[in-house]
Amino acid sequence: MTSLKIDFKKELESASKGMIMIHDPKLLIKLIIRMIVRKLGVRHAAMVLHDLERDTYVLSISRGETGVKIPTGFTRFDHDSPLIKLFNCKEYQHLTIDRNAIVSDDISRLIWRESVLPNGGASNGDVQKLLYDVYDQMEMFNTVACVPAYHRHKLMAVLLLGEKYDNTKFEQEELDFFAALASDAAMAIRNAQLFNHLKREADRNHQQYLQTIMVLTHLIEDKDAYTRGHSDRVTEYALKISDSLMHKDTLKFSKKFRETLRISGLLHDIGKIGIPEAILNKNGKLTDEEYEIIKGHPTRGVMSLQPLGLEEECVKGILHHHERYDGRGYPTKLAGENIPMIAAIIAVADSYDAMTSDRPYRKGLPQETAIQEIRKNLGSQFNPIAAQAMIELYEKGKL
């Protein structure tokens, strides 16, 4: 029995629970190796991890005494490496089935056994040569025990263990613990790799998603030359307002709010794609009929964006950015706090940019004049919190 009197079942349960919560393979291995070195009295330990992209094995994490532990990052094990062949090839796996590991002190016994017993795969000479090579490789890395970690018969990693501080040999109970730990680790490593793969795919898809949004934004601007850059500017102002509110703890937003606001700001005028250019670029006052067509752009925008599957909050920002705080806006005449904050923020940013930009029928207003209009309509047209944040940004020279 181990002199450290380790409760292996308890340690395994504790390690397994921790593995479930970690989606970073290297961090996961680091914690396992640290636990082995600290709690089990091993001079050094390391993990050789399968690299999915290169289909090779890399010594990823190493812990222990300086000068004894194995340098990481530079050591690669290809499929012809003795240790990898031992654990990866079916014709050699019978060598480790008794111990769930390979221990250097056992190699001489195994070599003798293979010289007198037939095996079901490789020739006796090949097996003996492999064992000699494994012994040499283990000596090179100051390793006295190696434990494989499998997931569905796929070798995911190999745990390399140095000598114990008390210089005693590894007992079978300890090796069984390492094997069980390695098995749990293999599953956790595979799950972590799959999680990271899905995250990379999601990031890639999200980037494509954002590129689609940018293309849609440019389609709006291609129709309305006088609002070129309008969506970008509105988004910039809206983000500044939300950042200011979050910084002052005026409002609490979800972690995704900023990204949602950005998408909503970029797409808030997407419904204008369906409006005739003669109306969009009219140099003069709109007729009542033309104004009704313009007022329909938030609803048309939301309908046209349905295939993108936007989040509900993002949709609300697009649909309600022309609502007024006094309830006289469109399309649904929401009032006061019933107007989603994302829409209220975009409304202020949109009005400010509309006032300061050149239009077919007038030159853009000075910033100061636009801010005066926002101040004048605070609490009637604009949500007081969003409008006040915009005014303060101007006063601080941040617009």
The DSSP string of 38-68 is HHS-BSEEEEEEEETTTTEEEEEEEEESTTT
Look at residue 358 and tell me whether its pLDDT is greater than 70: yes
Give the residue carrying structure tokens 């380790």: 6
Q: Please write the tens of the pLDDT for every residue from 32-77.
A: 888 888 878 888 888 888 887 788 898 877 887 765 566 655 578 8
Least confident of 7-11, 146-150, 386-390: 7-11
Retrieve residue 191's tokens: 């799950």
Give the residue carrying structure tokens 């494989």: 148
Query: Residue 394 CB: number of other CB atoms within 10 A?
Result: 17
Distances (CA, A) of 155 to 12, 27, 132: 20, 19, 21
Give the residue carrying structure tokens 């002190």: 105
Mean pLDDT score, 364-374: 95
Q: Please write the tens of the pLDDT for every residue from 64-117.
A: 776 556 665 557 889 999 999 999 888 887 888 777 889 998 888 888 876 655
Instruction: Report the top-level CATH class of 206-395.
Output: mainly alpha
In this prediction, residue 30 carries a pLDDT of: 80
Q: State whether the Cα torsion 161-166-171-174 is positive or negative.
A: negative
Look at residue 253 and tell me whether its pLDDT is greater than 90: no
- Banded pLDDT at 222 (limits 50, 70, 90): low
The rounded distance, in Å, linking the Cα atoms of 75 and 93 is: 23
Mean pLDDT score, 263-290: 84
Question: Which residue ranges make up each domain of the chain?
Answer: 8-193, 206-395
The closest of 155, 159, 130, 164 to 147, measured between CA atoms, is 159
Least confident of 8-12, 32-36, 181-185, 326-330: 8-12
What DSSP letter does each residue of 185-242 carry, written as one string?
Answer: HHHHHHHHHHHHHHHHHHHHHHHHHHHHHHHHHHHHHHH-GGGTTHHHHHHHHHHHHH
The rounded distance, in Å, linking the Cα atoms of 6 and 180 is: 15
8 A C-beta contact, residue 373 and residue 355 = yes
The rounded distance, in Å, linking the Cα atoms of 204 and 193 is: 16
Give the max Cα distance, the chain: 102
Retrieve residue 289's tokens: 């009929």
8 A C-beta contact, residue 399 and residue 234 = no
- Which option is the CATH number for 8-193: 3.40.50.12660, 3.30.450.40, 1.10.533.10, 3.40.710.10? 3.30.450.40
Mean pLDDT score, 234-262: 90
Retrieve residue 43's tokens: 């001079």
In this prediction, residue 92 carries a pLDDT of: 85
In this prediction, residue 2 carries a pLDDT of: 43
The rounded distance, in Å, linking the Cα atoms of 285 and 259 is: 36
Beta strands at 76-77 and 44-51: parallel, antiparallel or unpaired: unpaired
The rounded distance, in Å, linking the Cα atoms of 350 and 264 is: 12
Among the ranges 123-127, 143-147, 250-254, 368-372, which has the highest mean pLDDT value?
A: 368-372
In this prediction, residue 379 carries a pLDDT of: 94
Q: Please write the tens of the pLDDT for every residue from 186-211.
A: 777 776 676 666 667 667 777 777 77
